[in-house]
Structure 1
Amino acid sequence: MPASAAPVRLVLASRSPARLTTLAAAGVTPRVVVSDVDEPAVLDAARAGFGADLEPADAVLVLAQAKAEDVSARLEDGDDEASALVLGCDSMLELDGEILGKPADADDARRRWRAMRGRAAVLHTGHWLVDARDPEDGGTGGTLGASSSTTVHFADVDDEEIDAYVATGEPLHVAGAFTIDGLGGPYVDRIEGDHHGVVGLSLPLLRELLGELEIPWRSLRDPR
């Protein structure tokens, strides 16, 4: 039989219900601590540092890292659950070379859907892990990340369908103004890539990152 793995506490640096649900469905119950990062400021600083604009896959990774490191630093300030693994995530939709986060308002969401319908776009999700565990708990101090990119093919919906979907309010709270696991699911014809990446957290990629830190996936799962 395989050796058992010591349990590892996971902190999710995101308020996304979809990411939390994705982890829960895989048997992982993280503690949620939302980061306080100023996303535009983080991206501006990254652009200044690189001396050029960021590719979408790099932009989401920069934000995921900022979120994970912000929460990790706050946990280190006397938190009784500071010894944990911290996961930061960020998602953006790329359409015609433009990066789309959450829409500004309902009008913006409608404009986006009229541009996306009947077409394909790429959903990029950055993942960043910070091993903030104490050394006696096996902590390595490691920090690493990667991005997943999934092509999304949208249905050719009409204006009435767009208006009805935007009226639900759901598109206003998600990157790209759509979901695949909620009310927006019927408007996605198909995807090319990892389904979980579109939801906002790629479980296979997270498992790979854990492997880089020599942490087996099963150590995150809730006891059965």
Structure 2
Amino acid sequence: MRFVLASASSARLSVLRSAGIDPLVRVSGVDEDAVTASLGDPAPTELVTALAQAKADAVAAEIGAEEPDAVVVGCDSMLLMAHGEIVGKPGTREAAAKRWAQNSGSSGELLTGHAIVRLEGGEVTARAKGHLGTTVRFGEPSEAELEAYLATGEPLHVAGGFTLEGFGGWFIEGVDGDPSSVLGISLPLTRKLLAEVGVSVVTLWSSPNAE
């Protein structure tokens, strides 16, 4: 059985490989704005879960003939900021700077939605979905530090405008909850969802994760 990651995220891929899984990567191409619009006025947790489900479903529909026995995992992450706004990837330097101005010295909740579709004989036999929230405590970078961080381009393309594993890690004071979820894919939640579709995560390991 193949583990198929419905995401282009290098951070998610790195987390999985470090945890013993070498997934097949397929990007869904889902129109996230269209999915969001179809939900009306969703709760933040409903939004990230629905986006994850849309991505998993899209890839499952495309890959059945190529990988008839597989679990397809879709993920989506957004930051629920202290003042109640939920945001995804900034996209522009200006938006990233605004996010950091708002978050500096405060905390936000990184919401991660996961969805799994199980394929057997090329047909969907089970689905599971869930979400997780992890509190992120932001530091207070100086103006010069923030300018240097923005200049790397990194915060423009990641949920909430920050990372733990990259340049952004210098400015994160702490995480309360599952750190792997902040990297984009929660290992504990994924394990539980796999169990819901009848798959033990240990059967998917490519090799023991040992020194």
Instruction: Give the shorter-chain TM-score range.
Output: over 0.9
Aligned to 1:90: 76
Of 33, 37, 41, 1:44 maps to 37
How far the C-alpha of 1:181 sits from its partner, in A, is 1.1
CA contact (8 A) 1:120 1:154 kept: yes
Q: Secondary structure at the match of 1:189?
A: strand
Is 1:114 matched up with 2:110?
no
**Residue 36 of structure 1: how far off its partner (Å):** 1.3
The CA RMSD over aligned residues, in Å, is 1.4
Q: Give every structure 1 segment of 4 or more consecutive aligned residues whose post-TM-superposition deviation is greater than 4 Å.
A: none
Q: 1:80 matched to which residue of 2?
A: 66
* 1:71 equivalenced with 2:59 (yes/no): yes
1:101 corresponds in structure 2 to 88
Task: Give how far 1:140 is off.
Answer: 6.9
The answer on whether the counterparts of 1:140 and 1:213 sit within 8 Å (CA) in structure 2 is: no
1:54: Cα distance to partner? 1.3
Equivalence for 2:16: 23
Give the Å deviation of 1:104: 2.6
In the superposition, the TM-score normalised over structure 1's length comes to 0.89
Structure 2: segments with no counterpart, 5+ residues:
none
CA distance in 1, matches of 2:100, 2:118: 39
- Report which of the two structures shows the higher radius of gyration computed on alpha carbons: 1
Q: Give me the TM-score of the superposition, normalised by structure 2.
A: 0.94
**Greater Cα offset, 199-208 or 139-148:** 139-148
Cα distance in 2 for partners of 1:56, 1:82 equals 33
Partner deviation per Cα, 1:122-165 (whole Å, 9 max, x = no partner): 00010000001228xxx871111101100000001122111110
* Structure 2 contact 5–73 (Cα < 8 Å) conserved: yes
Gaps (5+ residues) in structure 1? 1-7, 48-52
Q: Is the 8 A contact 2:112 2:185 kept in 1?
A: yes
Which amino acid is 1:126 matched to?
Answer: G
**Equivalents in 2 of 1:143, 1:212: separation in Å?**
8
Alignment of 1:41-190 (within 5 A): 41-47=34-40, 53-76=41-64, 79-95=65-81, 96-134=83-121, 141-190=125-174
C-alpha distance in 1 between matches for 2:120 and 2:149: 43
- Number of equivalenced pairs: 207
Answer 1 or 2: which has greater strand percent: 2
